Structure 1
Amino acid sequence: MKELLTSERWMNELDLARISKLNAPFPPELDAALDNAEFIKPQDIPADVVTMNSLFTIVETESGSTNKLMLCYPSDAEPAKGYISVLSPVGASLLGRKAGTVAQWATPNGEQHFAVVKEILFQPEASGDYTT
């Protein structure tokens, strides 16, 4: 599993610019994503990478449960509906992850969770939307 955890991360430059303007503290997972990501133009992002406003499924390694999530900005977050803020530990840990890789995050009580990005169902960049 360690090999998957240290896999490459990609982020498009527009997502970086927008995230950088958010006026809120970043969780450690987001700092790690920004420190370890390769920043590229939106049109060059691989279609199997979680970007902002992507819809995807994850499989939690502890329980085996599958969840459909959308990575969004804080103003659009509705965790009960699967809209996960990039400023949440889980959202930040998924940003830039490629399908098939593992994300790791800590809950508020310090418990570690792991999930595999199973499939990208929709990615704005893959559909030709480079500005959303």
Structure 2
Amino acid sequence: MTQASQPCISAVDQARLVVLIETRFQRGQGVSDAASRVLARLRAAQVVPPDGIPADQVTMNSTVVLEGADGAKRELTLVYPEDHDPEEECWSILHPVGAALFGARVGETIELPEAEGSGAAATWTLAALPFQPEARGWVAL
């Protein structure tokens, strides 16, 4: 297990995300701010086997519970772009909400955009991580 302060990413997530972002760039879709944020995390993180990921860290396909300062709660799932469905609270890694969640740890504060195009952000605390694939040993190669 890595130290809590050392940012890390599973080798599986790292490989899949690099290919995903490179493919979009090669297709002329450009690299969005969210994708740039993900790339920065990929470059800064230590790559570890899936069982080396801390159980309190958000990885792909994790479900999180966020709590607002007013006590409001939201449950979101971090997904790949093809599964993006905001109405179901499934947020793509390449959307600003998903990029903000990726790599966060329980107890951290996260800034999430309020509404599309509004530019406003709300502060949430990552209160719980009820599902993380690596913690359950669910890692598809």
Corresponding residue for residue 70 of structure 1: 77
Larger Rg: 2
For 1:21, what is the secondary structure of its paired residue? helix
**CA displacement, residues 2-54 of structure 1 (integer Å, 9 cap, x when unaligned):** xxxxx654321110111111133341432443344332211111111110011
Normalised to the residue count of structure 1, the TM-score between the two structures is 0.81
Query: Structure 1 residues 57, 40: CA separation in 2 closer, same or farther (over 3 Å shift)?
Result: same
Residue among 65, 72, 80 paired with 1:57: 65
1:8 and 1:36 in contact (8 A); partners too: no
Residue 129 of structure 1, CA deviation: 1.4
Between 98-107 and 41-50, the greater mean CA deviation after superposition:
98-107
For 2:139, what is the secondary structure of its paired residue? coil
* Whole-Å separation in 2 of the counterparts to 1:65 and 1:32: 30
Residue among 27, 51, 54 paired with 1:46: 54
Query: Structure 1 residues 76, 103: CA separation in 2 closer, same or farther (over 3 Å shift)?
Result: same
Runs (4+) of structure 1 exceeding 4 A deviation are: none
Counterparts of 1:106-117 in structure 2, within 5 Å, are 106=113, 108-117=117-126
Normalised to the residue count of structure 2, the TM-score between the two structures is 0.76
1:8 and 1:97 in contact (8 A); partners too: no
* 1:21 and 2:51 are equivalent in the alignment: no
Query: For this pair of structures, how many residues does the alignment match?
Result: 125
Query: Structure 1 residues 114, 36: CA separation in 2 closer, same or farther (over 3 Å shift)?
Result: farther
Between 25-34 and 117-126, the greater mean CA deviation after superposition:
25-34
1:10 and 1:49 in contact (8 A); partners too: no
* 1:79 and 2:86 are equivalent in the alignment: yes
**CA displacement, residues 48-96 of structure 1 (integer Å, 9 cap, x when unaligned):** 11100111111134x5421111110000111110111100111111111
Q: Percent same amino acid among aligned pairs?
A: 33
The one-letter amino acid paired with 1:92 is A
* 1:130 and 2:128 are equivalent in the alignment: no
Task: Name structure 1 gaps, 5 residues minimum.
Answer: 1-6
For 2:99, what is the secondary structure of its paired residue? helix
Query: Structure 1 residues 104, 125: CA separation in 2 closer, same or farther (over 3 Å shift)?
Result: same
The one-letter amino acid paired with 1:19 is L
* 1:102 and 2:100 are equivalent in the alignment: no
The one-letter amino acid paired with 1:18 is R
2:18 and 2:39 in contact (8 A); partners too: no
* 1:118 and 2:130 are equivalent in the alignment: no
